[in-house]
Amino acid sequence: MAGLAVFIGGCSTTTGSYSYQPKASQKYPSEKLAMTSSNIYKKNGDLQATMRPYTVMGREYYPTVVRVGDVFSGTASWYGRDFHGKSTSNGEAYDMYAMTAAHKTLPMNTVVRVTNTRTNAQTVVRINDRGPFVETRIIDLSFAAAQQIGVDRVGTAPVTLEVLGFEPSGMRTIDMGSLAKGPRESVLSSFFVQIGAFERFEGALVTKQKNSNYNGYSAIIKDTEYNNKRLFRVWLGGFKSEAEARDFISRGYFKGSFIIRE
């Protein structure tokens, strides 16, 4: 991906734009992880570019896991002709007449129903871009979507977002039939960071208690078997994505820590 365009504003007259160059694709080192009775495993290689954490104007954003039925509220804005044909965050060309939108953290190809809470007008859009990077705004609609719920006339409006489903990667349209048969949550799995492994339960318990609420993440003990020996592993949970877990590890809080995905 050559670049990532994100947009500020949301009126038919452009109030400004901000572009940044994402970090070069990173190769993360392989961590040794024995297969255990819990069938835990790790995914190696490049992290998909659109799911990496990123920083805009000094603030970090973490693409996150959502499920069908999740509801969010905030302010909607829109972007139109000045961005028509330019690249979106997932590499598509922005089409102001397509039913798409930008969101800060929803996985790409998440499909959401947007309701204008002033008028109850609704539209359905697919997320293919990042933004809007204004604190109170939750979604940047395409011109066509904004027109459907009257946001194009006023610039912004209070809305609710309801997650309807997830289109396969590469899809450019919204198929409500396939959404109903598709996954009920985004394809990301639950991510943990292993911070210790002990042959004695007492050692695992002390580590768990010491880190029971470490920076907002909760600690658990996993009773596993490795090389015909019982091993008590201590995991931190609560990471919204693999990107967030990797970012946590990179800060060096726990020497030798690594990611586990269930």
* 216-235 confidence digits (pLDDT tens): 888 888 888 777 788 889 99
Q: Is the pLDDT assigned to residue 167 strictly greater than 80?
A: yes
Q: Taking all residues of the chain, what is their mean pLDDT, rounded to a whole number?
A: 77
137-142 and 71-79 beta bridge pairing: parallel
Q: Phi then psi for 121, rounded to 5 degrees? A: -70, 145
Architecture of domain 66-181: Beta Barrel (2.40)
Q: Is the pLDDT assigned to residue 91 strictly greater than 60?
A: yes
Q: Is the pLDDT assigned to residue 119 strictly greater than 90?
A: yes
Q: Is the pLDDT assigned to residue 118 strictly greater than 80?
A: yes
Q: Check residue 241 and give its pLDDT.
A: 74
Distances (CA, A) of 163 to 16, 67, 112, 193, 261: 29, 7, 4, 28, 24
Q: Check residue 48 and give its pLDDT.
A: 52
Q: Check residue 160 and give its pLDDT.
A: 97
Domain boundaries, the chain: 49-53+188-261, 66-181
**Other residues' Cβ atoms within 10 Å of the Cβ of residue 52:** 21
Average pLDDT over residues 12-33: 26
pLDDT band at 61 (very low <50, low <70, confident <90, very high): confident
Q: Is the pLDDT assigned to residue 262 strictly greater than 70?
A: no
Among 134-148, 179-193, 200-214, the minimum mean pLDDT is found in: 179-193
**155 versus 12: which is more confidently predicted?**
155
Rounded CA separation 86/84 (Å): 6
Q: Is the pLDDT assigned to residue 9 strictly greater than 60?
A: no
49-53+188-261 adopts what CATH topology? Alpha-Beta Plaits (3.30.70)
- In the block, tokens 């990797």 appear at 246
**Other residues' Cβ atoms within 10 Å of the Cβ of residue 205:** 14
Average pLDDT over residues 152-163: 96
Among 125-139, 169-183, 226-240, the minimum mean pLDDT is found in: 169-183
* pTM: predicted TM-score of the whole model, two decimal places: 0.58
Please provide the distance, in angstroms rounded to a whole number, between the alpha carbons at the two ends of the chain. 29
